[in-house]
Amino acid sequence: MSEKSAESHHEYIIALGSGAYDNSVKRIETEIGNLQQGINLEEQRIKGLRGRLQHGVVDTDGKIISRIEAAQRTVENAKDTIRELDLLHSNVTKYMSISNNRCIGHILFTDPIGVSDGPDRYTMDWAALKMRKDSFGEDFQGNKVYIGKFPTSLVHAQNAVYLYFVSQATNWMRRRSQKSPTVRAMGTQSMACRGVVPESELLSFKQLDVNGNPALTVVKNGTSSGTTIGSVSSLRSLTRNYKSLGATFWSRELTIIPYHGARSPFSERGDSGSIIADRSGRIVALLTGSGGVTDAVDVTFATPYCQLEKRIKEALPGIRPLD
């Protein structure tokens, strides 16, 4: 797609798509079913414990009563959750079953896939979307990278780095919530995107990894692989071959490898377009692709955002992408 005057030829953006919408509704229904099964089990446990008391079992240390009370709390919490899920299910199926009601905006501008001007020739593969204001709640807090979920297959060394990312996000949210009572602290779910890593830091790392070595540790959340952590390797030249578009060209991209000891790749097919950020929330790059014979030698390619931002502002004068 390379439509320059996208305003006259709208390509609408739907969220969720038909498959994702159906899956989400099924997940709500499944969760309600699971909670109901849990309630049934807890109620049977309560009945059994009360039966023991009725048959003369002496509860001298109060353990039976405590177990009954704990089971009752579990039942009440599950019932509260079911009520909330029922309301969500009702709203989702009533108002969002039609795809037009899930429209969040349209494509504002698309750049033909290619390379940037100048000797560096960075890969340019991006589009800008114009979002509908009513797609966001009144408490919308700006650009963030979601880091709430993390693969359980990662080793302890990578988990330690993840916890560092989490602490950074938590501290920022706590400061925001203290400054404004209308801002809801979101715990460890997301990290704000603030600023851009300059090219000088991509060539000479200013941060240290968990072993005290110069490094630029990054995080991303992708559609396929979820939240992963990696290390920026270096800027290298490579050939990009977009067979479906008949485009082959030399370009320079950032290379990112899985963090030390990680058993899983930094990215997978379907993660393209993900924002990659450093541990302070600065945007490092836009993910463009990946490859490797095995997960252990996986390499992710990305366009440095400091270069991409120049092209964005050139194509869309006056735009402030991070506001």
Six-digit token pair at 116?
A: 């940037």
Instruction: Say whether 32 sits in a helix, a strand or coil.
Output: helix
Six-digit token pair at 55?
A: 């048959």
Q: What's residue 238's pLDDT?
A: 67
Give the DSSP per-residue string, 172-223. HHHHHHHH-TTSPP-TTSEEE--SB--HHHHHS--EE-TTS-EE-EEEEEET
Kindly indicate the confidence band of residue 140, based on its pLDDT and cuts at 50, 70 and 90: confident
User: Which ranges of the chain would DSSP assign to H, the alpha helix?
Assistant: 18-54, 63-95, 156-179, 199-203, 305-315
Q: What's residue 284's pLDDT?
A: 92
Cα separation, 170 vs 154, whole angstroms:
21
The model's pLDDT over 254-282, given as tens digits with 9 standing for 90+, comes to 888 887 656 678 888 888 889 998 888 89
Closest CA to 304 of 267, 254, 257: 254
Please tell me which residue, 263 or 139, carries the higher pLDDT value: 139
The model's pLDDT over 17-67, given as tens digits with 9 standing for 90+, comes to 888 889 989 999 999 999 999 999 999 999 999 998 888 888 888 899 999
